[in-house]
Amino acid sequence: MLTIVQVYPELLGTYGDGGNGLVLAERARRRGIAVRLIHAGMDDQLASADLYLLGGGEDGPQRLAVELLANAGFGQQVSNGAMVFAVCAGLQMLGTSFSVHGDDEYRGLGLVPAVTTRATTRAVGDLVTEVNGTLMVGFENHGGATSFGSGVDPLGTVVRGRGNDGQTDGCRMGRIWATYAHGPVLALNPWLADAVLAEAIGRDQLEPLDSVADRLYESRCRALMNLGVD
Amino acid sequence: MRRTLRLQIAVLVVRAVNWASPRLGRGSGTVAGGSVGLGIAPRLLESLADRRTVILVSGTNGKTTTTALIAAGWGEDPATNDTGANMPAGQVAALVRSSSRRAVLESDEGWLGASVEATQPAVIVALNLSRDQLDRASEVRQLAERWRTVFVSDRAKHSVIVANALDPLVVFAADGAPNVRWCAPPTSWTADSQSCPRCTNPLRRSAERWWCECGLAQPASTSYFDGDDAVIGDVRIPLELALPGSFNRGNALVALTALGEVGVDVTAASKRLATVRAVAGRYDVRCVDGQPVRLLLAKNPAGFSALLESIGSDHDIWIAINARVADGHDPSWLYDVPFEILRGRRVRCLGDRRFDLATRLWYAGVDVDVGESLVPQTDRVIDVLANYTAFSDLLAESQPC
Ligand SMILES: [Zn+2]
């Protein structure tokens, strides 16, 4: 049984981020993989899981979520081998420190050597990243600039938008994956959803699953790479 | 305030531009003139609102409908920006068009402070705050903070605030203002206020009320529903509306409460607003290529949630989604809409972002049909839910049946 936990949706769900849990669970289910999707509220005890999903949040809720996760033994779950897929503020929270408002600096979860500072401008718009030769399309809306320490690979190279710093987007460190593309990025990129799913259950690949999501991915790639909207 | 020559000229220019712009094929003639007028005389709105009794209406959802209900309930044709042009230029245009001593003006949430300052409203209606177009608007909590600054300031000290007691963000904003009338319009949307706007701790809810351990809590309402009756202070009104949906009953409750505060007999007003059938094309049945459709506008998760609940299970549904400037470029919010209630039904997906919609619905277990164009299907009226520009497109393409 694959257990997926969507972490604190009431704090980390600004941009429909709950969509990622739905997409993963549904893609597993339709292939006959037994799956349980838990929405872990901030009042609940944090369930142990194979895969944790961190969404984006507004400033106050982001800080509270870090505090709650630190106290809930999240770091222990990750060092025991749980996988993490984080978007937007979720990426910032995984690092050692982040600044959200003004110059105040807050301590992150420290699971990834990453420091987020406030960028001079907010990045709002389409984000396209090349991940090992495949395009990842999404949308970003954040004010951070993130730099990573050694031993951390970026998730991919920015083709359009800003991501971490205008050059790279997100990170991949062991079973911790993150991107600045917020909200339901896995809905827009079915191939990435399947890559996350395959990693979570320890398979090399999954059998194909045809759906309208493939047409969405194709239409967004065409639109964003200016190949003309269909 | 004495009108200076500059102000008089500004008014004349607003009239001239608004007369000319629809004829020149530019816009509907509600904003262009106002902008030019404000450029000539920045205090134009203040001057135009002077000596009028003003009701301002703001909030994420229901502004245009509530404004229309107040205008109808007030009677005698008050000045109003009833097409939804809700920034200062649209408000100026509305006041230039009408010499009525009464004005009901819709205000964009982000412009509320400026609107209050300029119009010195007798009543400010605070409907609700929820996520809408986050790629260009500020975060919803920051908006609540800004409202709070307005409501407790000297600018609003002579205004009565008619506020939604069920919305924690609105209560956070209005709590502490000197004159508040709390209303309880029916709502099922709580996703934008699960953590306390004051302290971010989790909000607690029971069937009757919400509260937080920090002390922020649902105030007692003096306007509410008791069965089908609206109760406003000590007046009880059996309310039957031409507009559908429980959310419109809530809008009517708030509208009547606002009217009571400017001395209108709310029972008489309720009969007038009950006859409103359509608001700026919304709820109207029109024909698109021979197909009768009922056009419904929903722009964000809270709005969609309210509309989806009001659609009969035997109705055919089309949904049209765009993500142009006026809609916000990011349709991620589709995943915050509880489309799961359509599971087992078939929905035709339209608009620029029909694949985003179809994918969302597919994951919700809803049957989808990704329509390339509108083709008449049936004699029955189809409910069409559309977001902002998709709605405008449909309205423009449609004719009276
Ligand atoms: Zn609180």
Residue at B56 is within a domain: yes
Answer whether B202 sits within 8 Å of A187, measured CB to CB: no
All residues of chain B having their beta carbon less than 8 Å from the beta carbon of residue A139 are: 135, 329-330, 332
Residues 137-156 of A with CB under 8 A from B: 139, 141
The answer for residues whose C-beta is within 8 angstroms of residue B314's C-beta and 6 or more apart is none
Answer whether B335 sits within 8 Å of A14, measured CB to CB: no
Q: Do B366 and B337 lie in a common domain?
A: yes
Alpha-carbon distance values, A111 to A12, A41, A195, B68, B397 (Å)? 18, 22, 22, 54, 54
Report the SS3 class of residue A96: coil
Task: Please return the burial class of A87, using the count of CB atoms within 10 Å of its CB with bins 0-12, 13-18 and 19+.
Answer: buried
Q: Which residue of B has its CA nearest to A212?
A: B359
- pLDDT tens digits, chain B, 401 residues: what are they? 455 778 777 777 777 777 766 555 445 556 777 887 787 777 889 999 999 999 999 999 999 999 999 999 999 999 999 777 888 889 999 999 999 999 999 999 999 999 999 999 999 999 999 877 655 555 788 899 999 999 999 889 899 999 999 999 999 999 999 999 999 998 877 777 778 889 888 889 988 899 999 999 999 999 999 999 999 999 999 999 999 888 999 999 999 999 999 999 999 999 999 999 999 888 889 998 888 999 999 988 988 998 998 887 778 899 999 999 889 899 999 999 999 999 988 999 999 999 999 999 999 999 999 976 556 666 788 999 999 999 999 999 999 88
User: Which pLDDT score, from 0 to 100, does residue B1 have?
Assistant: 46
Kindly indicate the confidence band of residue A230, based on its pLDDT and cuts at 50, 70 and 90: very low
The amino acid that residue B149 corresponds to is T
User: Which pLDDT score, from 0 to 100, does residue B24 have?
Assistant: 54
Residue at B93 is within a domain: yes
Report the SS3 class of residue A229: coil
All residues of chain B having their beta carbon less than 8 Å from the beta carbon of residue A229 are: 352
Sequence spans of domains, chain A? 2-226
Q: Residue B312 maps to which CATH number? A: 3.90.190.20
User: Which pLDDT score, from 0 to 100, does residue B191 have?
Assistant: 73
Residue at B280 is within a domain: no
% pLDDT > 90, chain A: 80
Residues 96-115 of B with CB under 8 A from A: none
Q: Does B19 touch chain A (CB under 8 A)?
A: no
Q: Do B250 and B290 lie in a common domain?
A: no
* Distance from the first to the final alpha carbon of chain B: 49
A vs B, Cβ pairs < 8 A, gives 96
Boundary of a domain, candidates B273, B300, B323: B273
User: Which pLDDT score, from 0 to 100, does residue B238 have?
Assistant: 95
Structural domain of B11 = 5-273
Q: Do B258 and B292 lie in a common domain?
A: no
Best of A23, A139, A212 to disrupt the B interface (most B CBs within 10 Å) is A212
Q: Do B363 and B224 lie in a common domain?
A: no
Boundary of a domain, candidates B273, B304, B333: B273
Three-state secondary structure string covering chain B: CCCCHHHHHHHHHHHHHHHHHHHCCCCCCCCHHHHHHHHHCCCHHHHHHCCCEEEEEECCCCHHHHHHHHHHHHCCCCEECCCCCCCHHHHHHHHHHCCCCEEEEECCHHHHHHHHHHHCCCEEEECCCCCCCCCCCCCHHHHHHHHHHHHCCHHHCCCEEEEECCCHHHHHHHCCCCCEEEECCCCCCCCCCCECCCCCCECEECCCCEECCCCCECCCCCEEEECCEEEECCEEEECCCCCCCHHHHHHHHHHHHHHHHCCCCHHHHHHHHCCCCCECCECCEEEECCEEEEEEECCCHHHHHHHHHHCCCCCCEEEECCCCHHHCCCHHHHHHCCHHHHCCCEEEEECCCHHHHHHHHHHCCCEEEECCCCCCCCCCCEEEEECHHHHHHHHHHCECC
Q: Do B181 and B231 lie in a common domain?
A: yes
Residue at B278 is within a domain: no
Cα(A87)–Cα(A62) distance, integer angstroms: 12
Residue at B358 is within a domain: yes
- Residue B323, min C-alpha distance to chain A (Å): 12
User: Which pLDDT score, from 0 to 100, does residue B376 have?
Assistant: 60
User: Which pLDDT score, from 0 to 100, does residue A43 have?
Assistant: 84
All residues of chain A having their beta carbon less than 8 Å from the beta carbon of residue B194 are: 10-11
Cα(B105)–Cα(B111) distance, integer angstroms: 12
Report the SS3 class of residue A121: strand
Closest Cβ opposite residue A219 in set B329, B335, B355 = B355
Q: Are A167 and A157 in contact (CB under 8 A)?
A: yes
Answer whether A10 sits within 8 Å of B330, measured CB to CB: no
Cα(A169)–Cα(A155) distance, integer angstroms: 6
Residue A41 pLDDT > 60, yes or no? yes
User: Which pLDDT score, from 0 to 100, does residue B22 have?
Assistant: 59
Q: Do B66 and B133 lie in a common domain?
A: yes
Boundary of a domain, candidates B273, B301, B320: B273
pTM: 0.85
Best of B196, B335, B357 to disrupt the A interface (most A CBs within 10 Å) is B335
Report the SS3 class of residue A219: helix
Cα(A103)–Cα(B256) distance, integer angstroms: 47
pLDDT mean over A210-225? 92
Q: Do B199 and B320 lie in a common domain?
A: no
Q: Does B335 touch chain A (CB under 8 A)?
A: yes
Q: Residue B160 maps to which CATH number? A: 3.40.1190.10
Q: Does A29 touch chain B (CB under 8 A)?
A: no
Answer whether B362 sits within 8 Å of A211, measured CB to CB: yes
All residues of chain A having their beta carbon less than 8 Å from the beta carbon of residue B334 are: 16, 19, 184
Q: Do B195 and B321 lie in a common domain?
A: no
Q: Does B333 touch chain A (CB under 8 A)?
A: yes
Nearest Cα to A154, choosing from A138, A136, A177? A177
pLDDT higher at A57 or B72: B72
Closest Cβ opposite residue B332 in set A26, A59, A182 = A182
Q: Do B62 and B183 lie in a common domain?
A: yes
Q: Does B135 touch chain A (CB under 8 A)?
A: yes
Q: Do B174 and B319 lie in a common domain?
A: no
Q: Do B305 and B201 lie in a common domain?
A: no
Task: Could you please state the CATH topology (level 3) that the domain comprising A2-226 is classified under.
Answer: Rossmann fold (3.40.50)
Q: Does B152 touch chain A (CB under 8 A)?
A: no
Residue at B328 is within a domain: yes
Q: What is the pLDDT of residues B240-255, one digit of tens each?
A: 999 988 899 999 999 9
User: Which pLDDT score, from 0 to 100, does residue B192 have?
Assistant: 72
Distance B214 CA to ligand 1 centre (A): 4
What's the total number of domains in chain B?
2
User: Which pLDDT score, from 0 to 100, does residue B334 have?
Assistant: 96
All residues of chain A having their beta carbon less than 8 Å from the beta carbon of residue B139 are: 14, 58-59
Answer whether A58 sits within 8 Å of B141, measured CB to CB: yes
Looking at residue A212, the DSSP 8-state letter turns out to be H
Distance B201 CA to ligand 1 centre (A): 6
Report the SS3 class of residue A54: strand
Q: Do B180 and B237 lie in a common domain?
A: yes
Closest Cβ opposite residue A18 in set B134, B139, B335 = B335
Residue A229 pLDDT > 60, yes or no? no
The interface predicted TM-score of the complex, written ipTM, equals 0.95
The answer for residues whose C-beta is within 8 angstroms of residue B52's C-beta and 6 or more apart is B79, B95, B100, B101, B102, B103
Residue at B279 is within a domain: no
Residue A228 pLDDT > 50, yes or no? no
User: Which pLDDT score, from 0 to 100, does residue B373 have?
Assistant: 56
The answer for residues whose C-beta is within 8 angstroms of residue A192's C-beta and 6 or more apart is A131, A136, A185, A186
User: Which pLDDT score, from 0 to 100, does residue A156 have?
Assistant: 96
